[in-house]
Structure 1
Amino acid sequence: MLKLTHLNKSYENHKVLDDINVVFPKNKTTVILGPSGAGKSTLLRSINLLDQPESGSIELDNLKLNYESNLSNSEILQLRRKSAMVFQSWSLFPHMTIMENIIEGPTQAKNENKEQAIEEGKKLLAEVGLAGFENRYPSELSGGQQQRVSIARALALKPSYILFDEPTSALDPELEAQILHLIQKLAMEDKSMIVVTHNMDFARKVADKVIFLENGQVIFDGESKEFFENKNRRIQDFLNAMKF
């Protein structure tokens, strides 16, 4: 289980997260929705300390950290080992082959045996539809292929949770569909995932739970079906606006 308690985060005089209290269940897909500027990506990035809140705490498996404290490098590393982020842009190392990109995390951060990591990497590439791409470089792949490598790289870390921050926003509609199908497949395999997206059809299909943010506050926190059938005026306005 992943639990965030009393999270607060500000940039200058603007409060981005305002006393956030949420739980992300294990082996489920939680989708974070909300208008632009609601704090969705900041909330996601707080989980692995790409953004550090001023206050609040995180509990992940057997680890509990207080964001107000001066966290040590060891504590930050412990937390980051338990999650893996897939960004809007794929963020692959351009000077490394696809396989080198995939095994970098397991061998460097988790001290896994290189040969074992390579074998696992081959299986993951096959799983995302890129068998035989081991020795290519990112520049030789399309955007959709690079994003699939990013997902394989995240899976290689065997994280407790995979974090997706608008993973298809930089892709055209055809490539977007490929990535969404892949994430949906992972959801069906009961991976623990947290997804920020603007695609409501995808959110409806993949989400077990929905968190709806606005102005840095949680407006809704509950089951997906309940969200999409909710009669709350603000939620209905949001869903209607996202249809166009």
Structure 2
Amino acid sequence: MFLSNLLGTYTRPLSVCAALLLALSTACNQSPPETAATTQQPTTPPPVPGPNLTALADSNVVELLTPYLREHPGSEVLLHTRLGTMRLRLYDDTPIHKANFLLLIRKGVFNETLFQRVEKGLVIQGGRSTNRTIAINRYRLPPEIRPEHFHKKGALAMARYDDDQNPGQLSSGIDFYIVQGKKLAPNQSQAVAGRKLTPAQVQTYATEGGLPSLDGRYTVFGEVVEGLDVLDKIADEPIDAYKWPKKDVNMKMEVVGG
């Protein structure tokens, strides 16, 4: 009896515990009630304002880029590389080249490019890409060659084909270069210049350096205002037989102020 009563006394509490454990187990194994999906779907960033890059052509760049610059102005650009950053100022009196450069930067085109040609004492040239994902048409810009803008050290200009293939001196839509050049004695700079130089320009070539042989032949539309040391570092990079830096010098660009 005593033993039976003891077993009976402890059996009931154990049964209650077992029932409680079963209830908890059942509750844990139940699926939670279905609720509405809370996972956020990725959003597409808003399109960058401006002409469609695949629509640009020699025949319509002035028509498309003129209103773009009026609606989306900008004057300074930061060009970032692994060797440092250059700050570029774009000229107001070369509006088509300025608008084109701003458009390509804001569309992210130059962020997929690198400096593909480096010639120490001459220029560093960029704008090409080995891995382009942004679709862009091939087009050219009308020349905006002005005598007050010359190829001093730090000058920003657009590349183009030579006169025999391009007598209209139309600029490339994407290939640009920055002048390093060399210092030249006054008689040297005028002797090789593509046009008559002013006394101030002759003095600049003597004290700062540049490449006067390109004056009057290519559109200069801006200049480096900070970071000439970065220009020199890029020009010092080892290059291969094709003048391509052995270690890629990629770039990222942004318009100051958006």
Greater fraction strand? 1
TM-score when normalising by structure 1: 0.29
TM-score when normalising by structure 2: 0.28
Greater fraction helix? 1
Larger Rg: 2
